[in-house]
Each structure stands twice: as C-alpha cells, then as structure tokens.
Amino acid sequence: MSAFCDVCVDIAVADTNRAFTYSIPENMRVLEGMRVIVPFGSRKVEGIVLALKDEAQVELSRIKPIIRTLEDYTAILPPLMQLAKEMADKFNCPLAATLRLMVPAQLRKSRVSVKNEKFARLLVSGEDIKKARESQSRAPKRQLLIDLMSDGEEHSLSTLRLLVRSPLLALQKLEEQGIVEIFEKEVFRKPYPAGLVKTEDPILTPGQEEVLSEIIPAINRGQGSFLLHGVTGSGKTEVYIRAVRHALKLGKTAIVLVPEIILTPQIVSWFISRFGDVAAVLHSRLSAGERYDEWRRLRLGDAKVAIGARSAVFAPLQNLGIIIVDEEHEQSYSSESSPAYDAREVALSRCKREGAALLLASATPSILSFAKAGRGDYMLLEMPERVNAKPLPKVHIVDMREELRLGNTGIFSNLLMQKLEECIKKGDQAMLFVNRRGYAPSVVCRSCGERLQCNQCDVAQTYHRSDKQMHCHYCGAVTSVPEKCPSCGSNFLKTCGVGTQKLEEELKRLFPGVTTVRLDNDTTRGKDGHRKQLSVFRSGAAQVMVGTQMIAKGLDFPQVTLVGAVLADLSLNLPDYRAAERTFQLLTQLAGRSGRGDSEGEVIIQSYKPEHYAIKAAATQDFRSFFNQEFSRRRKDLYPPFTIIARILCLADDNIIARKVSGEMFSLLDNKLKEKPLWKKSVLFFREDDAPIKRIMGKHRSQLFIKMVDNKQGEEVIAYLSEISRMEWDCSVQLEVNPATLA
Ligand code: ADP
Ligand code: ZN
Ligand code: ZN
C-alpha cells in the first residue's frame, strides 16, 4: 500500500493543473481516480486522486493526511484518467477541466445523495403465516399486508402504498409483534418506467446481415473503426441493437451516442424495450438525482449500455465492446465550451485504448468522416436500400422565382398546395419545415428600410404571434413591438419572412379545419413538451406537423407521405464554409421522413436557388455526388479537411476594446510568423476584424481569423494561438479550432 498520493483539488471550481501531495492514513483504501476530501488551507475540499506514490517530494512535516474517501470505488476509471490527461494535453487546458467531464456535475458538487427507500418483509413463513394472519383478525389492513407479503420477498413501501392506503402504521404494529421487519435500502432513481413491452426481433435484411458480418468480428477482436452510410429508413437502429447485444453476450459493455435533439422518450423507451434493464440513459433533461443514479448504475456494473448525448462518451463503463455514434454528422457532437472536444474523436481514442470497436453511422455522413473513410481511417460500410426495398420518396424541386413570376406571392407553391390537398383528403399525414421559429423572422420599416434589432445583439428580432412581442433568438430578450419606426418615426412597420407560427397560421387559413401540431423550441419546452407534441401527431389527432429542423431528425412516422421544405435555402446563406453540407444534410434527412410506411412518399423542396448542387443532390438523395462536388470545392477554396480554420474570438463591453485586443493579437502573430518562416508557409491567410455577428448579449465581438495547412507546423501555430489566448488580455478571449459555427 502506498503511503502518499497526488490529488487534483477542487475540480469543480478551480482551473488548475496542480496536484498536491497528501498522506494516506493507515487502513484507508485509496485508489487512483477516487474522490477524496482533503484539507486545503483552512478549508476541506474535494479532490481526485491522480497517482499513488511511495515517497513524497515534499517535506514530510508539510504533508497532511486525506480526511476520507467519498466512495469505496474509483469515480474515474484508469483508462478515463488517461483520456483526461490526453485531452488536457491536446487542448492545452487544465487537467481539472477534463476531469470534470468524467464525473456528473451532481457528484462533483455533492448536491445529490444516494436515495434510500423503506422496505418491509415478513419474518414468518409457512404455517406461521396463517397463525400471524389469524392473530390480526380485528385489523383487516394488517391481514391484507400479510397476504401481500406472503411470498416472503422484500416489498418497497411505495409499491405497498399502491395497494394499501397508508400502510406504514400497520406495518410498524406488525414489526412490534415480530411478524414483519422494516428496513431501508439504497435504490436507484430510474428516469424511465420499467416493464416496457418487449418488441419482437425482426429478421435482418441482407444489408443489415452484411454490415453486421463486419462489425461483429471487430467486437470480438476488440479493434476496428467503421463508417456506416445507410440511407434513411435502411434500418440502422436494428444494426446498433444487434451489435450492442453481441457485445453484451461477450460480457462487454457498449455506448450508444444519439444527438440530444432526437434523444426523445420515444427513442429511449424503444432502446430500453430491446435491451431491458441493462441500459442507462444520460442526458440533460434528466433530474439531478436521476442522472447521478444512472451514472452510478453504469459505474457499478448494474447497467451495461449507456445511451446518451455527447457527454455519454465519458460513461464510466469497463470492458467496453463498442461505441456507436448515431447521426455522426450532427454538429452537437462537438462541444462549444472549453475544452471544445469532438465526441467522435474522444470515442475513437477510447476505443483504441480500451480495445473496442467504433461505429459511426449516418444517412448523410460528414464530409470529414467520409474523407477519412476514403483515406482508410475507417472502413466504409453501406446500406443503400430501405428496409423491404421500400423506395426512397420522390422529390420535386420547385423554383420559387418562377412562382413569383406567375404571380404567386404566397408561402406555398402551386405544387405544394395541390399535394397538401391530396394528402389531407386521403387522410395521410404531412410534415412542413421552415428553419425559423416564431411568426416573422424580421420586422422592417417600409419607409426607411430599418430592421428592428435586439438592443443587446446585432441580430434581427423575430416577431412572435403568440405573445405579440419581439423576441431575440440569441439572448432571449423580449420587447414590445414599437408603434413607430425607431429610426424614422413612420407607421409603416411590416413583418417579413416566414416562421413556424406563420406557416401554421397560413396552413389553417388555406385548409380550414386541418389539425396541426407545431414542433419547435417554443412548443417543446419542459421535460415533457417534446413527447406531448409527438404523441399528438402519432395518435393522428393532428394531420400536419409544422416545425424547424427538429422534425428532420430521426422521427419515424409511417403515416407521413408528404414532406414540404417551405424555404429550403435559408441555411445556404449562413457565414460558414459548411453551409452547403448543412443544407444537404438537413434536406436529405427531412426527405427521409416521408414514405416510411406502406404508402410511397413524396417530398417538395421550395427554393430560390434550385440550381445549387446541395439542393440538387438532396433531391436525388445522392450522397456521393454531393460529396464529390463539395470535396473538390473545399480543395479548391482551401477549406477543411484540407486546411484548419482557427479563430480567437474577443468579447468586450466596448467595440474599441475588443478590436484593440484582436489587433494586438494580430501583431503578435504577424511578428511571430516573421521569426518562423516554416510556420509562415503553413499559414495561408490571417486577418483581424469584427465577427460576422458583431454583438451578442451586449458583448462586442471581434476576431483574429487564421486559415492554415493541416500539418505539423499548422499544429504548432495552433499551440501558439492557444498560448496567446491564455495571456492576460483586457477582455475575455476564446480560441476556436474548426468551430461549429463562424457567426
Ligand atoms: P434508419 O435509422 O436507417 O433511418 P430505422 O432504423 O428507423 O432506419 O428503420 C426504419 C424502419 O424499418 C423502422 O420502422 C424499423 O422498425 C424497420 N426495420 C428495421 N430493420 C428491419 C427488419 N430487419 N425487418 C423489418 N423491419 C425493419
Ligand atoms: Zn423607418
Ligand atoms: Zn439579443
């Protein structure tokens, strides 16, 4: 047993790399990765044991002993400890920041505790039960309790309470007489009800068989990374389920990552119904207690499959067999806050270290992953057909400029009107997409052209019909609609553009009596909001679902035969080199919601840029054609994956300060590049300016923007940028490498 250990203290609050040495009292079992309470100055703080040591480098008289351990198991398993160290190195951030990712917030702040529940059990058996029962002839409630517990099992008070009103007093009486024992036991709070119906296993399609014949051997040998490109409706979920089951059969564990937005109760209960109690769920909508308990179930081996959003990649599982990343192209797999890790890369690192297989899957793989597959980093697997050879939906593109020329200024093209009418008449369901929530994305003065803006952010305010107020979608501020134009005083303010509320209103106006449900951030708030909207649609109580990108993802409604993208190209105009990729993914996923049942599906894409290759490729659902065009465009224009884009964002209360800081950074880099000709060769381009959105939540934003070659020198430049960003500046600064958005 070692006598000393290094402890990273206070990981919940401190951003520290420093470890302090403590002594381990005799008879205390301390392991690397355990959480401990240690004296620190005059306080007692929580820490993580980083390493055990036989000797201390510090003077013995200054070393204090550990006060106690918080659990009798290691909170951070050895491979996860290594991962934390690797990430701290890679992101140039304090170890405390990466250790924090490995334990749930609830555990770090000791906000929740283990939950105990009261249980009761009969102490008598056989003939004695009858005697005990007779002895209670004047207390029918006690008799009933004896009957209920006559199986000799433990019964929780909460279940007894369902059958007998207020059973505690009666049980206590029985306990006094030695008939019953009441005791407390640790229980896990479960976010999802047990005892869900078990669904039968379908017979695998040849496509699924083939893909699994590659994945299963990889799980067996504990090695192999795959990218599965399977069209929408090709049955990828069934592949995940079989792969996970195989891992379980080998006594291994599994992680299934699903984007937060589609981690709906529907998907979760579906997984749980196929895996049973061995699945645990980790995501942000769980209560603190539930999250903590799910984490402990995984750590203690009670659960063997972790299903969750991005952060579930750190699930405390041992003997990992496979990590699956569903919808791998989703932006939400990259973390926006520091350390800005990419869950797919973390998954790869874990799989390599822990001897597991990796499966990334999507109907629209990211350009990056598909390029990696082309390079041989992943083995490419394909499922080009839908289950049961169901055809992919037929897609029509409507040129909205032509509609205008024909005098149609409405939201719906003639074709979409006609198809909606047919769909509604037939009693089928439809989905309509527009990528803005609210009523109108902007309010403009017809006299001077002024657009109403949030006074905290440099973005247009959205008009919401439900509360008749102006909303800012960046900071959430809500203000009333001014009577007059704040700029010229005219009365000619008018709403422009289409949001989900307006789309729904127009639909109801054009199709009187049609039932609708709206799915956007406004209607899905709260723990149950999402589920409620979905079940309204599933039950058929609403015939048309109107929504934002939320409706594009993962939903499986067999009655939907028509999908309409009302304004397909809004996302093409974003200040982002991935705008085309995003638009293609969104439209292809959206189209994939149509025709999943027995009837064939149709899709209508309304666009002002119908000739754009992202729109054309989405219409034919031709991923390869899109990939080829996008890949050569990126090569030509020097965008990732051929280059690295980085920026340091400066945020200040004052634009002058923000620009001063970014300007000074520019000079630093400029001078450095003069000293380092090799670096200079790798830097293709750099500039300093205002960020595309100049102000968010009152903070002025400026940036140092750099594009460089993806090579060793490029990485050295990034390390230098990270050094710059950690210097003392007059405002807060953030380094972003290939950021998810360039706003
Ligand atoms: P994807 O995720 O690839 O879009 P899903 O996994 O949602 O596709 O599968 C599409 C539909 O096909 C689902 O309703 C699913 O239950 C069904 N399905 C999947 N595999 C099979 C199979 N082998 N036999 C019959 N139906 C299947
Ligand atoms: Zn005006
Ligand atoms: Zn705002």
Q: How far is the CA of 443 from the centre of ligand 2 (A)?
A: 11
Query: Average pLDDT for residues 566-585, to the nearest whole number?
Result: 86
Mean pLDDT score, 113-134? 82
Mean pLDDT for the stretch of residues 271-285: 81
> For residue 281, how far is the Cα from the chain centroid?
12
Q: 724, 619, 77, 154: which is closest to 397 by C-alpha? A: 619
Give the residue ranges of DSSP H helices in 450-557.
500-510, 529-538
Query: 571 C-alpha vs ligand 2 centroid, how far in Å?
Result: 28
User: 145 CA distance to ligand 2 centroid (A)?
Assistant: 76
CA of 652 to the centre of ligand 3 (A): 15
Over 50: is that where the pLDDT of 489 sits?
Answer: yes
Separation of CA 460 and ligand 2 centre (Å)? 15
**What is the rounded average pLDDT of the residues 573-598?**
89
Alpha carbons within 13 angstroms on the beta-carbon side of residue 107 total 25
Residues with CB under 6 A from ligand 1: 202-205, 208, 230, 232-238, 387, 556
Segment 734-738 mean pLDDT = 86
Q: What is the mean pLDDT of residues 385-407?
A: 91
pLDDT at 109: 52
Measure 386 CA to ligand 1 centroid, in angstroms: 8
Which bound ligand lies closest to the C-alpha atom of 492? 2
Scan for tokens 């051929």, then name that residue: 642
| Alpha-carbon gap, residue 299 to 76, rounded angstroms | 9
- Could you tell which of 211, 234, 238, 388 is best to mutate to test the pocket of ligand 1, judged by most ligand atoms within 8 Å of the CB? 238
CB 665 within 8 A of CB 648: yes
pLDDT in tens, 176-214: 988 998 888 776 666 655 544 556 789 999 999 999 999
Report the separation in Å between the CA atom of 697 and the middle of ligand 3, taken as the mean of its atom positions.
Answer: 5
**204 Cα nearest atom in ligand 1:** 23
Least reliable range by pLDDT among 88-92, 255-259, 679-683: 88-92
Can you give the pLDDT at residue 1? Answer: 66
139-149: per-residue pLDDT in tens? 888 988 888 88
40 is written with which tokens? 């620190």
Number of alpha carbons in the 13 Å side-chain half-sphere of residue 421: 9
> Strand 320-325 vs strand 253-257: parallel, antiparallel, or unpaired?
parallel
- pLDDT, residue 335, reads 85
pLDDT for position 195: 47
Q: What is the pLDDT of residue 75?
A: 92
| Whether the predicted pLDDT of 127 surpasses 90 | no
Atom of ligand 1 nearest to the CA of 230: 3
- Angle between helix 168-176 and helix 140-148 axes, rounded to 10 deg: 80
- Do 146 and 174 touch, CB atoms closer than 8 A? yes
Q: Ligand 3 centre and the CA of 665: distance in Å? A: 28
Q: Between residues 641 and 667, which one has the greater pLDDT?
A: 667
Identity of residue 55: E
The neighbourhood of ligand 2, an ion, using CB within 5 A, equals 445, 447-448, 450, 485, 487-488, 490
Q: Which residue CA neighbors atom 5 of ligand 1 most closely? A: 235
Q: How many Å apart are CA 535 and CA 720, to the nearest integer?
A: 52
Q: Give the pLDDT mean for 470-483.
A: 91
- Neighbouring residues of 5: CB distance < 8 A, sequence distance ≥ 6: 21, 22, 24, 30, 32, 49, 50, 51, 52, 53, 66
Model confidence band, residue 399 (pLDDT cutoffs 50, 70, 90): very high
Q: Please name which ligand lies nearest the alpha carbon of 698.
A: 3
Write the residue with the smallest CA distance to atom 12 of ligand 1: 235
**Minimum CA distance residue for ligand 1 atom 2:** 236
Minimum CA distance residue for ligand 1 atom 17: 235
| Ligand 1 nearest-atom number relative to CA 232 | 4
pLDDT at residue 378 above 90?
Answer: yes
Instruction: Report the nearest-CA residue for atom 25 of ligand 1.
Output: 202
Q: Which of 209, 231, 237 to mutate to test the pocket of ligand 1 (most atoms within 8 A of CB)?
A: 237
Ligand 3 centroid distance, CA of 455 (Å): 6
**Could you tell me the distance, in angstroms and rounded to a whole number, from the CA of residue 106 to the centre of ligand 1?**
37
Nearest CA to ligand 1 atom 18: 235
* Share in percent of the chain as helix, strand, coil (round to 5): 35, 25, 40
Note the ligand closest to the C-alpha atom of 453.
3
Centroid of ligand 2 to alpha carbon of 506 (angstroms) = 27
What residues pair up with 462 in beta bridges, in sequence order? 471
The CA angle 89-92-95, to the nearest 5 degrees, is 65
Residue whose CA lies nearest to ligand 1 atom number 15 = 235
Ligand at minimal distance from the CA of 201 is 1
- Tell me, rounded to whole angstroms, the distance of Cα 325 from its chain centroid: 11
CA of 340 to the centre of ligand 3 (A): 24
Determine the residue of 208, 556, 559, 589 to mutate for testing ligand 1's pocket, defined as the one with the most ligand atoms within 8 A of the Cβ atom: 556
Q: How far is the CA of 476 from the centre of ligand 3 (A)?
A: 6
Concatenating the DSSP letter of every residue in 635-661 gives: HHHT-TTSEEEEEEEEEESSHHHHHHH
Indicate the Cα dihedral angle 583, 587, 589, 593, nearest 10°: 160
Nearest ligand, CA 475: 3
Ligand 2 mean position, distance from CA 447 (Å): 5
Of the ligands numbered here, which is closest to the C-alpha atom of 592?
1
> What is the whole-number distance in angstroms between the Cα of residue 471 and the centre of ligand 3?
8
> Both tokens of residue 543?
């015939």
Question: Which one of the ligands is nearest to 385 CA?
Answer: 1
pLDDT grade for 58, boundaries at 50, 70 and 90? confident
Specify the ligand 1 atom closest to the Cα of 387. 12
Confidence of residue 411 (pLDDT cuts 50, 70, 90): very high
Atom number, ligand 1, closest to the C-alpha of residue 558: 14
Ligand 1 pocket: which of 242, 387, 560 to mutate (most atoms <8 Å of CB)?
Answer: 387
Question: Does residue 641 have a cis peptide bond before it, meaning omega lies within 30 degrees of 0?
Answer: yes
- Closest Cα to atom 24, ligand 1: which residue? 202
Quick one: pLDDT at residue 384? 93
Confidence band of 547 (pLDDT split at 50, 70, 90): very high
Q: Which atom of ligand 1 is the closest one to the Cα of 237? A: 6
Gyration radius of the chain over CA positions = 30
For atom 19 of ligand 1, the residue with the nearest CA is 235
Q: Does the pLDDT at position 326 exceed 70?
A: yes
Q: Is the pLDDT of residue 412 over 90?
A: yes
pLDDT digit string, tens, across residues 303-321: 999 999 999 999 999 999 9
**Ligand 1: nearest atom to the Cα of 236:** 3
Length of the chain: 743
Q: Chain-wide mean pLDDT for the chain?
A: 89
Structure tokens at 465: 């019909």
What is the distance between the alpha carbons of residues 484 and 490, in angstroms, rounded to a whole number? 5
Find the mean pLDDT for residues 615-622. Answer: 92
Which atom of ligand 1 is the closest one to the Cα of 203?
23
Q: Average pLDDT in the 440-456 region?
A: 90
Ligand nearest to the CA of 267: 1
Distance 661 CA to ligand 3 centre (A): 23
CA-CA distance, 318 to 300, in Å (whole number)? 10
Give the mean model confidence (pLDDT) for residues 337-350. 91
Give the count of beta carbons closer than 10 Å to the beta carbon of residue 311: 19
Under 8 Å between Cβ of 75 and 103: yes
Residue 592 CA, closest ligand 1 atom number: 4
pLDDT in tens, 646-674: 999 999 999 999 999 999 999 999 999 99
Give the ligand whose atoms come closest to the C-alpha of residue 474.
3
CA of 462 to the centre of ligand 2 (A): 17
Phi, psi of 367 (to 5 degrees): -55, -40
pLDDT tens for each residue of 504-514: 999 999 999 99
The residue whose CA has the least distance to atom 16 of ligand 1 is 235
Between CA 141 and CA 601 the distance in angstroms is 60
The residue whose C-alpha atom lies closest to atom 14 belonging to ligand 1 is 556
Phi first, then psi: give them for residue 115, nearest 5 degrees.
-95, 130
Three-state DSSP at 599 gives: coil
